[in-house]
């Protein structure tokens, strides 16, 4: 069978990323233009600036990804692009570019859900895909979701009721003046700290009314961390280690709750926060305890990237399940298909 190549475009937040991925999930090239240094000036992503930068970089990124892959546009079998959820203006730039390429190059197009793309990032450069049903945890700057995935259905078992896991890292780092984005900074700092030094509250535990539900909440820990910061003279690595510990403990407890309710074959962990060393270690422990195959993206595919978008489009590509050119974007839920 001849190899197929999918060109994937990701522009849902602040990174413009284009990749070429083969139908056996091998990444030929990925070109990501990061805007972190710009948004760092504001301590978070400014949507208007993000979309203007996507506009400037999306076509150069397409050209660079193509030339790095050693392929030409004639080798591309389909274009995949994230169309929800994300920042509306940012999504529109990627989707418009993808539609333009699909029209100009006469290629089919596949609209991709950003969460499915994160999940598919765990399959890049892997020989096999997990067997159904499997449990997927997506932990990123915008999402914290546990999803039950069977052959024909995806059921969201639980989500965050307030901040996403990555958002919690970013907000705490901002509060402690550590820099942006907070996740990698805190992860590194926590490695040198004592996680038992600060007695931060457990999240959704004991008498909490959500103790037995598959839901997440990360906002409650902010005031406890702030209290220690306000007292001054903090051992920052230990405070950050204590904070990270509580975040990961909640994730672990809710994953175990889901695993106690249904038998799964595999556990997939993805999203920007899946780069976290404590999250990765916990995922390994859970997989080995429950006898699950573990799928986690390589570190370079944890953050938003075009390769995961191409990977997520693969099942639709093989079913010839292409999108019509008039599909929409949406900040939250799946956009309605026009009648
Ligand atoms: O998946 P992603 O690139 O974008 C979204 O879809 O949101 O995730 C970005 C998030 C940021 O909140 C960042 O702080 C977090 O991932 N992150 C981490 C680590 N690396 C990135 N959080 C914890 N530990 C890390 N090592
Ligand atoms: Zn993402």
Residue 22 in this model has a pLDDT that exceeds 80? yes
Coil vs helix vs strand at 320: coil
Please report the pLDDT score of residue 333 as a whole number.
77
- Protein residue with its CA nearest to atom 14 in ligand 1: 183
Give yes or no for a contact between 267 and 293, defined as CB atoms under 8 angstroms apart: yes
pLDDT digits (tens, 9 = 90+) for 68-81: 999 999 999 999 99
- Protein residue with its CA nearest to atom 22 in ligand 1: 183
Mean confidence (pLDDT) of the chain: 96
Ligand 1 nearest-atom number relative to CA 164? 12
pTM of the model: 0.96
Cβ of 187 below 6 Å from ligand 1: yes
Mutate to test the pocket of ligand 1, among 140, 145, 188 (most ligand atoms within 8 A of CB): 140
| Domain-embedded: residue 181 | yes
Residue 334 in this model has a pLDDT that exceeds 80? no
Alpha-helix runs per DSSP H in the chain: 36-39, 47-69, 88-105, 114-121, 165-175, 182-190, 221-231, 236-261, 277-290, 306-318
Please report the pLDDT score of residue 250 as a whole number.
98
The rounded Å distance from CA 303 to ligand 1 centre is 6
The C-alpha angle with vertex 215 and arms to 157 and 290, in degrees rounded to 5, equals: 65
Please report the pLDDT score of residue 1 as a whole number.
55
Please state, in angstroms and rounded to a whole number, the distance separating the CA atoms of residues 106 and 108. Answer: 7
pLDDT digits (tens, 9 = 90+) for 240-293: 999 999 999 999 999 999 999 999 999 999 999 999 999 999 999 999 999 999
Helices and strands per DSSP (H, E), number in the chain:
10, 10
**How many residues are present in the chain?**
339
Residue 83 in this model has a pLDDT that exceeds 80? yes
| Domain-embedded: residue 265 | yes
Q: 61, 42, 47: which is closest to 14 by C-alpha?
A: 47
Ligand 1 nearest-atom number relative to CA 182? 14
| Domain-embedded: residue 237 | yes
pLDDT digits (tens, 9 = 90+) for 23-51: 999 999 999 999 999 998 988 899 999 99
| Domain-embedded: residue 330 | no
Coil vs helix vs strand at 45: coil
| Domain-embedded: residue 159 | yes
| Domain-embedded: residue 329 | no
**Residue 235 banded pLDDT, cuts 50, 70, 90:** very high
3-state helix, strand, coil in the chain (%, to 5): 45, 20, 35
| Average pLDDT, integer, range 181-196 | 97
- Where in the sequence is the domain holding 12, given as residue range(s)? 5-123+301-318
Per the structure, the count of domains in the chain is 2
Same domain, 112 and 138: no
| Domain-embedded: residue 333 | no
Coil vs helix vs strand at 232: coil
Domain containing 282 — which CATH number?
Answer: 3.30.420.40
**Residue 332 banded pLDDT, cuts 50, 70, 90:** confident
Which helix or strand (DSSP H or E) is residue 84 part of? strand 76-84
Could you say which ligand is closest to the alpha carbon of residue 167? 1
Residue 56 in this model has a pLDDT that exceeds 60? yes
Give yes or no for a contact between 310 and 112, defined as CB atoms under 8 angstroms apart: no
The rounded Å distance from CA 117 to ligand 1 centre is 15
Same domain, 308 and 285: no
pLDDT digits (tens, 9 = 90+) for 137-175: 999 999 999 999 999 899 999 999 999 999 999 999 999
Same domain, 142 and 287: yes
């Amino acid at each position: 069978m001849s190899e197929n190549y999918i060109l994937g475009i990701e522009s849902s937040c602040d990174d413009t990323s284009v990749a070429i991925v083969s139908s056996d999930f091998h990444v030929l090239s990925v070109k990501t233009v990061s805007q972190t240094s710009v948004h760092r000036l504001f301590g978070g992503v400014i949507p208007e600036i993000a979309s203007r930068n996507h506009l400037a970089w999306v076509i150069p990124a397409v050209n660079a990804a193509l030339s790095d892959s050693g392929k030409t546009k004639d080798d591309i079998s389909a274009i995949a692009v994230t169309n929800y959820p994300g920042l509306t203006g940012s999504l529109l730039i990627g989707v418009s570019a993808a539609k333009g390429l699909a029209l100009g190059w006469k290629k089919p197009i596949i609209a991709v859900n950003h969460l499915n793309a994160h999940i598919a990032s765990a399959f890049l450069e892997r020989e096999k895909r997990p067997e159904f049903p499997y449990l997927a945890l997506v932990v990123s700057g915008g999402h914290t979701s546990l999803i039950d995935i069977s052959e024909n259905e995806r059921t969201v078992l639980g989500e965050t009721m307030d901040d996403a896991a990555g958002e919690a890292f970013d907000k705490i780092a901002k509060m402690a003046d550590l820099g942006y984005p907070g996740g990698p900074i805190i992860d590194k700092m926590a490695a040198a700290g004592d996680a038992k030094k600060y007695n931060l509250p457990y999240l959704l535990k004991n008498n909490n009314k959500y103790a037995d539900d598959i839901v997440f909440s990360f906002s409650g820990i902010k005031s406890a961390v702030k209290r220690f910061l306000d007292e001054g003279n903090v051992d920052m690595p230990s405070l950050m280690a204590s904070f990270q510990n509580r975040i990961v403990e909640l994730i672990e407890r809710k994953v175990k709750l889901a695993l106690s309710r249904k038998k799964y074959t595999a556990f997939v962990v993805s999203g920007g926060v899946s780069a976290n060393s404590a999250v990765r270690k916990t995922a390994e422990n859970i997989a080995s305890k429950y006898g699950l195959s573990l799928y986690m993206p390589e570190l370079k595919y944890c953050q938003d990237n075009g390769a995961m978008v191409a990977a997520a489009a693969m099942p639709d590509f093989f079913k010839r399940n292409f999108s019509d050119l008039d599909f929409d974007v949406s900040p939250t839920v799946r956009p309605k298909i026009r009648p």
